[in-house]
Amino acid sequence: KDLLESELFGHERGSFTGAQATRQGRFQQAEGGTLFLDEIGDMPSDLQVRLLRVLQDGEYYRVGGQAPMKSNVRIIAATHQNLDERVRQGLFREDLLHRLNVVRLRLPPLRERREDVPLLMKHFLGKSAQTLGGDMKSLTPAAMQMLQNFGFPGNVRQLENVCHWITVMAPGNTVDVADLPPEVRVSLGESQPLEAPAHIAEYAPPRPAQSYATYAPTPTPAAHAAPRHLTTDPGASASTANLSANTTASGEWQHALAASLAKAIQQGERAPGERLTREFEATLIRSALEQTKGRRIEASEWLGWGRNTLTRKIHELGMDGEV
């Protein structure tokens, strides 16, 4: 509670544990300007009272403060909640809603404006390519149509994540239906293969001079037939180590993964998904660190993880002495 109030209104030195100096809040920082409050519908009730007082009286108190602070700030608030319904449920103050509800704008969810999908895909694919240092991907008409038919329950943020996934995981620069994320294809009735074709290529690690975003597997010499990224345990299923390298068809790694899973199930292996997931994550981590020359901060950004997440996964996968 104190931290939330401090974020908005600031605090005085010693007002709570860790408050070692006086701090300006967002209202003071935005004085004479505009303050944007996101997800206002999730604001705790006691904080709603303090916000209402600022809007009504034009003043507030810092946490631990005795003197009122004047406020002249324009408020723009956003929420994914139905505030009228929240008021009926007693979860949002009606008087605060009336104070905020001077001009109401409704931005339709993505599923109600599917014609925006191509423009947003172009924007976020370009952004991902720039961030990851690769070429911008393009989609076939069939792939774009599938994305427009997808409901995107996570709205624009989910679309952005899909673009990031495509940039990292799609093997070629032209993305077809088979290269789209599994959740998109499965939700629209696209089945995934359980068996891999006989000509599936062996996975080869990205070369240091390339970006994974533009990498496509290429034939590898026999001496490198069992990359260190993957298990070569003969008891493990046909883990990507047993595949041959003579094709560059899109979706190779998906087929290889599906084949490994199918073989493991046929051999009666228990919980093969856990092992395959660990191998897959280890491969991603090694590739990211290889591309960034061991710089973990850059590698974590490249993977879309926080640095702490990357460090934790390295430890969980037993890779501390390896990377």
Pick from 74-88, 124-138, 230-244, 247-261: least confident? 230-244
For 64: left if phi > 0, alpha if psi spans -120 to 50, otherwise beta; the answer is left
Q: Count the domains in the chain.
A: 3
pLDDT attached to residue 224: 34
Percentage of the chain exceeding pLDDT 90: 38
Same domain? For 258 and 165 the reply is no
- The answer to whether residue 294 sits within a structural domain is yes
Global pTM value: 0.49
Label residue 100 by pLDDT band (50, 70, 90). Answer: very high
Percentage of the chain exceeding pLDDT 70: 78
Question: Alpha-carbon Rg of the chain, whole angstroms?
Answer: 26
- The answer to whether residue 203 sits within a structural domain is no
Same domain? For 262 and 237 the reply is yes
- The answer to whether residue 135 sits within a structural domain is yes
Same domain? For 119 and 47 the reply is no
Label residue 235 by pLDDT band (50, 70, 90). Answer: very low
Same domain? For 20 and 80 the reply is yes
- Which structural domain, as residue segments, surrounds residue 142? 110-187
Label residue 213 by pLDDT band (50, 70, 90). Answer: very low
pLDDT attached to residue 251: 54
- The answer to whether residue 207 sits within a structural domain is no
Q: Kindly give, in sequence order, each residue whose CB lies less than 8 Å from that of residue 149, ignoring residues fewer than 6 positions away.
A: 114, 188
Q: Which of 100, 119, 142 is the last residue before a domain boundary?
A: 100
Give the domain CATH number at 175: 1.10.8.60
- The answer to whether residue 321 sits within a structural domain is no
Same domain? For 173 and 248 the reply is no
Pick from 40-44, 204-208, 313-317: least confident? 204-208
User: For residue 47, is pLDDT > 60?
Assistant: yes
Q: Which of 74, 100, 126 is the last residue before a domain boundary?
A: 100
Same domain? For 138 and 222 the reply is no
- The answer to whether residue 197 sits within a structural domain is no
Same domain? For 19 and 94 the reply is yes
Cα–Cα separations (whole angstroms), residue 179 to 14, 116, 175, 182, 214? 55, 21, 6, 9, 13
pLDDT attached to residue 250: 44
Q: How far apart are CA 196 and CA 267, in angstroms?
A: 16
Q: Which residues pair with 35 in a beta bridge?
A: 75
Cα distance from N-terminal residue to C-terminal residue, the chain: 41
Mean per-residue pLDDT of the chain: 78
User: For residue 274, is pLDDT > 70?
Assistant: yes
Contact call for residues 41 and 33 (beta carbons, < 8 A): no
Query: Of residues 244 and 68, which shows the higher confidence score?
Result: 68
Residue 172 burial by CB count (10 A; 0-12/13-18/19+): exposed, middle or buried? middle
Give the domain CATH number at 16: 3.40.50.300
Same domain? For 13 and 39 the reply is yes
136 by DSSP, 3-state: which?
coil
User: For residue 136, is pLDDT > 80?
Assistant: yes
* Residue 229 amino acid letter: H
pLDDT attached to residue 90: 93
* Residue 308 amino acid letter: N
Q: What is the pLDDT averaged over residues 184-213?
A: 44
Contact call for residues 285 and 314 (beta carbons, < 8 A): yes
CA 30 distance to own-chain centroid:
30
- Name the E strands within the chain: 34-37, 59-60, 69-70, 74-77, 138-139, 174-175
Q: Which of 100, 124, 141 is the last residue before a domain boundary?
A: 100
Q: What is the pLDDT averaged over residues 263-282?
A: 78
pLDDT attached to residue 191: 43
Helix (H) or strand (E) holding 27: helix 26-29
Same domain? For 157 and 219 the reply is no
User: For residue 115, is pLDDT > 90?
Assistant: yes
CA 18 distance to own-chain centroid:
32
Same domain? For 173 and 124 the reply is yes
- The answer to whether residue 69 sits within a structural domain is yes
Sign, CA torsion 115/154/186/136 = positive
pLDDT attached to residue 190: 54
Give the domain CATH number at 239: 1.10.10
- The answer to whether residue 201 sits within a structural domain is no
